[in-house]
Structure 1
Amino acid sequence: MRNNKFLIISFFLLCLVFIFLSCKRNQKVSNNETVRDKIWLWGHVEGSHNGHFGLPSGLDGSKITMMEACNYMGIKNCMVVEYDGKPEYEEGANYAAQLSDCKRIGWSAVGAGTPDDFVVDHVKPIKTILQLSDKFENLKEVMFDDFFVGDKPRVTLDQLHEMRTLIHERERPLDMWVVIYDFNLEEYLHDEYLEYFDVLNFWTWKSNDLDSLEANLNKLRLRVPNKRIILGCYMYDYGLNKPMSVRKMAEQCQNALKFLKDGSIEGIVFLASCICDLNLDAVEWTREWVTYVGDNNIQEIDLREINSWTELSIQKYTNID
């Protein structure tokens, strides 16, 4: 009986090791890439969050554009995401042209939304994005934001299949990203949809749940072992409508760097462009962090040295904890 129990436990542990190694193999991090190569900025039209989530509005609100925010933060990849109807699809070319200096950009087929925001015309955004990608070669990703925020996903399974066919069955296929929140591990997540996506963009909605980040990432990997994962890092605590503490921001970055180095994730996204000119401590510290680690080769990073720098660098900020 004891031998049988030992065999069962051994088999279970071997399965976990196999799944973990499979996940690492699916993360695309080459030996000569720098940290900056793998960092993205989540982009919204200027002023998108003004007056929301406890952020200022009017003359005190944000005015920075996506490209200005990328330059300010030292980030060369930008994910353009529709928020409150902006940018409109007809404006796409103007915004894509503004981001022509970015190495890579992505565009949302499904933007920020609520449980009741079902996509009416699922083909139109895809055709618009594909037309943009034909004109702007740095457009390589398609984002599905807030996809699992209600009892039903934002499009049906048949609609998603049609969207994937349009995105993938072309001379230059694009990657399909989908946002997954930590709370999706308990509700709203429909596993049958996940096979259609190339990248899972994982976010922790409230800062007080960041202590569970590594455990939640492991849950996601076990649930969907063959998908690439990019970690989302909020620079403002949107879930609690307050500024992100610098320590919580630093913990996010430290974990992200560790996961990036060990191959658990293949990238990091900081949210959002439209708060980068509000003099928020978490944003300013993140800018310092990107400058400090950005040009380091991922595989050669000394995590202990960077953690020591982090502890010193956060001391000058007032909103540490």
Structure 2
Amino acid sequence: MHESNDRGLNRRLFLQRTATTAAVAGVASPFAPSAACWGSTMPYENTLRDRLWMWGHDSGSLRPGYDIGGPKDVGPGEAIEYMGIPNLCMVRFTGTPLPPFDDYVKQLAHAKRLTWSIVDGAKNFTNEQKKDQALELVPKTPNLIGFDLDDFFVGNAAPQTEGGEANAHLSVDQLRGIRKEMDAQKRNLDLSLVLYTSQLNPAIKSHIDEVDSVYFWTWRASDLPKLEENFAIYRKIAPKKPTLLGIYMWNFGEKKTIPLELMKHQCRLALKWLRAGEVEGLIFHCTPLCGMDLEAVKWSRDWIARHADEVVRA
């Protein structure tokens, strides 16, 4: 993890202010954090449930590009309750919701941890504007613990010039600048980037070194049989980087439902890697799917219910 000595000190000081922040927040929720761990970069508990995240999109956002969804589309706040998942990554890849977000985030107040995208597929704002919008949320959103860089690398991430940086939406220097702005906030915030198995180029390491965690995704379900092999390649590039495993519940890469055997395969590996300390958490994708009566979603919900209370770390 990229963390200066000053940032480490800030984290410790922040944790000392934790109880006060929790009291001010006053959020009532079955997932609400205790005063002892409220705030950004809060330590995970040892159960599987506490390490579960959901990838959040606005309701109806899957219709334009994927032609899925309908009248039962649910919002992200309702979706995480339905799935029994406490944490949410909110990604505005279609440009919604629009700022200001004050009313929209009220439905997310019961999330234990919340992150917000500052790089994503939306074209209605620049990355700089998205970052500024997210920073405006920080003092008003007690459970906001970090920012996400979705679809961060371009194509297969290969450098455009020999020996250059990986092809990405932000340079390494730009990431350092964002980090300075984040560290200037009154609480600590994590920075995470999305990485696909098709982008396992050694050049990505320079960018990965500048973020707190990586979200590791397999875009095409047909590549899931190679998940162990691809994860091993990733670990050679970033052996110590805190990583969350992304779990699709619909095959977006090939625009069709995901076979149940592949859902079982990735969840089986996920539980194994959680127990071994290879990954810090799991991210189920995505909230609009929860109103679509999909077999993979229902199976995942049952799987979560069966394993939620398991201790995955000593």
| TM-score, normalised by the number of residues in structure 2 | 0.78
Letter in 1 for 2:303: W
Show CA shifts across 1:68-102 (max 9, x none).
101111111111001211122x1322222210011
Structure 2 partner of 1:290: 304
Partner Cα separation in structure 1 for residue 311 and residue 215 of structure 2: 23
Say whether the 8 Å CA contact 2:119–2:127 is kept in structure 1: no
State yes or no: 1:108 paired with 2:117: yes
Structure 2 partner of 1:144: 149
Structure 2 partner of 1:167: 182
Structure 1 partner of 2:29: none
> How big is the alpha-carbon RMSD for the aligned residues of Structure 1 and Structure 2?
2.2
* Deviation at residue 220 of structure 1 after TM alignment: 1.0
Alignment of 1:265-304 (within 5 A): 265-299=279-313
Residue 154 of structure 1 aligns to a residue in which SS?
A: coil
Letter in 1 for 2:186: E
State yes or no: 1:74 paired with 2:89: no
Say whether the 8 Å CA contact 1:167–1:173 is kept in structure 2: yes
Structure 1 partner of 2:191: 176
Letter in 2 for 1:149: V
* Deviation at residue 29 of structure 1 after TM alignment: 7.8
State yes or no: 1:217 paired with 2:217: no
Say whether the 8 Å CA contact 1:61–1:278 is kept in structure 2: no
* Deviation at residue 121 of structure 1 after TM alignment: 4.8
| TM-score, normalised by the number of residues in structure 1 | 0.76
The one of 140, 156, 159 aligned to 2:171: 156
Q: 1:54 to 1:233 in 2, by over 3 A?
A: same
Structure 2 partner of 1:34: 47
The more displaced of 43-52 and 65-74 is: 43-52
* Deviation at residue 194 of structure 1 after TM alignment: 1.6
Say whether the 8 Å CA contact 2:86–2:112 is kept in structure 1: yes
Consecutive unaligned residues of structure 2, counting only runs of 5 or more, are 1-41, 161-166
Letter in 1 for 2:144: L
Structure 2 partner of 1:63: 73
Letter in 2 for 1:166: E
* Deviation at residue 156 of structure 1 after TM alignment: 2.9
Percent of aligned pairs sharing the same letter: 33
Q: 1:118 to 1:131 in 2, by over 3 A?
A: closer
Pair member with larger Rg: 1
Show CA shifts across 1:193-246 (max 9, x none).
221111010000111111111121121111112311100000000111100111
Structure 2 partner of 1:13: none
Show CA shifts across 1:238-268 (max 9, x none).
1111001111111111110110010000000
Consecutive unaligned residues of structure 1, counting only runs of 5 or more, are 1-27, 301-321
Structure 2 partner of 1:49: 62
Partner Cα separation in structure 1 for residue 208 and residue 241 of structure 2: 9
Residue 197 of structure 1 aligns to a residue in which SS?
A: coil
Structure 2 partner of 1:99: 108
Structure 2 partner of 1:4: none
Say whether the 8 Å CA contact 1:143–1:177 is kept in structure 2: yes
Show CA shifts across 1:84-125 (max 9, x none).
11122x132222221001111100011136xxx798452x32
* Deviation at residue 128 of structure 1 after TM alignment: 2.4
* Deviation at residue 65 of structure 1 after TM alignment: 0.5
Structure 1 partner of 2:134: 129
Say whether the 8 Å CA contact 2:56–2:88 is kept in structure 1: yes
State yes or no: 1:196 paired with 2:186: no
Partner Cα separation in structure 2 for residue 268 and residue 69 of structure 1: 16
Structure 1 outlier segments of 4+, above 6 Å = none
Show CA shifts across 1:9-55 (max 9, x none).
xxxxxxxxxxxxxxxxxxx986x521110000100000100253352
The more displaced of 40-49 and 131-140 is: 131-140
Residue 298 of structure 1 aligns to a residue in which SS?
A: coil
Residue 103 of structure 2 aligns to a residue in which SS?
A: helix
Say whether the 8 Å CA contact 1:119–1:155 is kept in structure 2: no
